[in-house]
């Protein structure tokens, strides 16, 4: 699945990511894209090893487990940045997510460590000399707790996305393909990942002897695919708003911004802000109660939302 999706999106990676200067967004992209291959290599090595020792199997299992946890945490960080950008880098959202993430990651690490200590391996050669790989003869059920933690974290992320989505929907955001992509990707990918998370919660509880590593690897790969596609999709839509084709639509007055900030530095570098502009070229003015993240309204109360790079907005006198 990882290789297949990579083959489908490699051309976009070369076009949208490789030419950009190094930034946090670009680093996160590569951390989401390529480490899963190391996870797969360890997983395959465990399956194919001839006469592995119990210690060797435990070390490989430990490496795979922590790579999975770190890899999923990186992709969750990308999802958080996307959500934080939707909230215009709202400080309260940032503090809440730092508290949640700062609690969730250590808790997940604690559960994972205890789970690994409880895993028991049996020399596969004692079962049959023709068999290969590491054989898990006993393990704790507690790994499901990690996926409950993950489920809670992702539910908070999608809830924040839905809340801000409804807010923009009421303000007529449907003219913006960029915003539509943010909201649609966030909700759809949550649903995809939620199915794997539920399976990883239910199976260890219902069938404690069933192997769970394969399903965990699938969830790791799905997190990677979703995070990579979110970044590539953002870049694709941003490229469609080429400044050379939208410069004539810029306004001549100060406007509020949808500060996509850190997550979009993989596209524009620092300062890659997006601004609302009027398709009628008429100046905007703030509506009542406008503040951070509020929509800018044009003549007759229209929102006329279009996204162009802020650097290309002509400032008025």
| Domain annotation covers residue 20 | yes
Residue 211 in contact with residue 137, Cβ under 8 Å?
no
| Same domain? 222 vs 247 | no
| Same domain? 50 vs 180 | yes
| Domain annotation covers residue 317 | no
| Same domain? 221 vs 262 | no
| Domain annotation covers residue 302 | yes
Residue 123 CA to residue 1 CA, distance in Å, equals: 30
SS3 202: helix
- Count of domains for the chain: 2
Residue 273 in contact with residue 305, Cβ under 8 Å?
no
Final residue before a domain boundary, out of 200, 225, 240? 240
DSSP state letter for 51: S
CA 241, chain centre distance (Å): 23
Neighbouring CB atoms inside 10 A of 126's CB total: 9
| Same domain? 216 vs 247 | no
Residue 223 CA to residue 188 CA, distance in Å, equals: 12
Final residue before a domain boundary, out of 190, 225, 240? 240
| Same domain? 17 vs 121 | yes
Residue 313 in contact with residue 251, Cβ under 8 Å?
yes
Identify which of 164, 174, 182 has the alpha carbon closest to the alpha carbon of residue 79: 182
Residue 267 CA to residue 163 CA, distance in Å, equals: 26
| Same domain? 209 vs 250 | no
Six token digits for residue 198? 């539920």
| Same domain? 101 vs 249 | no
| Domain annotation covers residue 261 | yes
Residue 32 in contact with residue 224, Cβ under 8 Å?
yes
Residue 235 CA to residue 185 CA, distance in Å, equals: 13
Six token digits for residue 95? 């503090």
SS3 253: coil
| Same domain? 45 vs 124 | yes
| Same domain? 52 vs 104 | yes
| Same domain? 98 vs 210 | yes
Final residue before a domain boundary, out of 214, 240, 266? 240
Read off the CATH number of the domain in which 226 is found: 1.20.1070
Question: Where do the DSSP E strands lie in 126-203?
Answer: 135-138
Residue 174 CA to residue 189 CA, distance in Å, equals: 20
H or E segment and range at residue 32 = helix 24-33
Residue 117 CA to residue 213 CA, distance in Å, equals: 15
Nearest 5°: phi and psi at 50?
-95, 125
Identify which of 226, 211, 222, 80 has the alpha carbon closest to the alpha carbon of residue 143: 211
Identify which of 219, 188, 185, 18 has the alpha carbon closest to the alpha carbon of residue 85: 185
Residue 271 Ramachandran class (φ > 0 left, ψ -120 to 50 alpha, else beta): left
What's the full length of the chain, in residues?
A: 317
| Same domain? 226 vs 248 | no
Q: Which domain holds residue 308?
A: 243-312
Q: What is the pLDDT along the chain (317 residues), one digit of tens a residue?
A: 889 999 999 999 999 888 888 888 889 999 999 999 998 899 888 888 888 888 888 888 889 989 999 999 999 998 888 888 888 888 999 999 999 999 999 999 999 988 888 888 876 767 777 777 887 776 677 888 999 999 999 999 999 988 887 777 666 555 566 666 667 777 888 888 888 888 888 887 777 666 667 778 888 899 999 999 988 887 777 666 555 433 333 333 233 344 444 444 433 444 433 333 333 333 333 344 444 444 334 333 433 333 333 334 334 44
Identify which of 311, 194, 240 has the alpha carbon closest to the alpha carbon of residue 12: 240
Alpha-carbon distance values, 244 to 248, 250, 279, 311 (Å): 8, 11, 15, 12
pLDDT value, residue 150: 93
| Same domain? 198 vs 307 | no
| Domain annotation covers residue 32 | yes
pTM: predicted TM-score of the whole model, two decimal places: 0.74
């Amino acid at each position: 699945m990882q290789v297949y999706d990579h083959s489908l999106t490699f051309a976009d990676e070369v076009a949208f990511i490789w030419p950009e200067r190094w930034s946090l967004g670009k680093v996160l992209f590569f951390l989401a894209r390529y480490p899963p291959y190391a996870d797969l290599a360890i997983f395959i090595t465990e399956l194919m090893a001839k006469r592995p020792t119990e210690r060797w199997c435990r070390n490989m299992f430990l490496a795979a487990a922590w790579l999975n946890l770190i890899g999923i945490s990186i992709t969750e960080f990308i999802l958080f940045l996307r959500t934080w950008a939707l909230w215009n880098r709202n400080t309260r959202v940032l503090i809440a997510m730092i508290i949640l993430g700062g609690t969730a990651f250590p808790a997940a690490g604690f559960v994972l460590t205890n789970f690994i200590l409880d895993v028991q391996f049996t020399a596969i050669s004692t079962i049959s000399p023709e068999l290969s790989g590491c054989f898990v003869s006993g393990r704790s059920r507690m790994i499901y707790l990690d996926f409950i933690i993950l489920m809670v974290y992702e539910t908070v992320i999608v809830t924040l996305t839905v809340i801000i989505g409804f807010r923009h929907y009421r303000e007529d955001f449907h003219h913006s393909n960029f915003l539509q992509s943010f909201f649609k990707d966030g909700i759809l990918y949550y649903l995809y990942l939620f199915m794997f998370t539920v399976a990883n919660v239910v199976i260890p509880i219902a069938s404690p002897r069933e192997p769970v590593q394969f399903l965990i690897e699938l969830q790791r790969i799905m997190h990677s695919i979703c995070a990579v596609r979110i970044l590539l999709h953002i870049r694709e839509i941003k490229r469609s708003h080429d400044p050379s084709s939208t410069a004539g639509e810029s306004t001549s007055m100060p406007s509020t911004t949808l500060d996509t900030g850190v997550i979009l530095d993989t596209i524009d570098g620092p300062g890659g802000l997006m601004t609302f502009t009027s398709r009628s070229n008429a100046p905007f003015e703030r509506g009542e109660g406008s503040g951070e993240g509020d929509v800018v309204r044009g003549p007759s109360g229209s929102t006329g939302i279009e996204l162009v790079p802020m650097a290309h907005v002509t400032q008025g006198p």
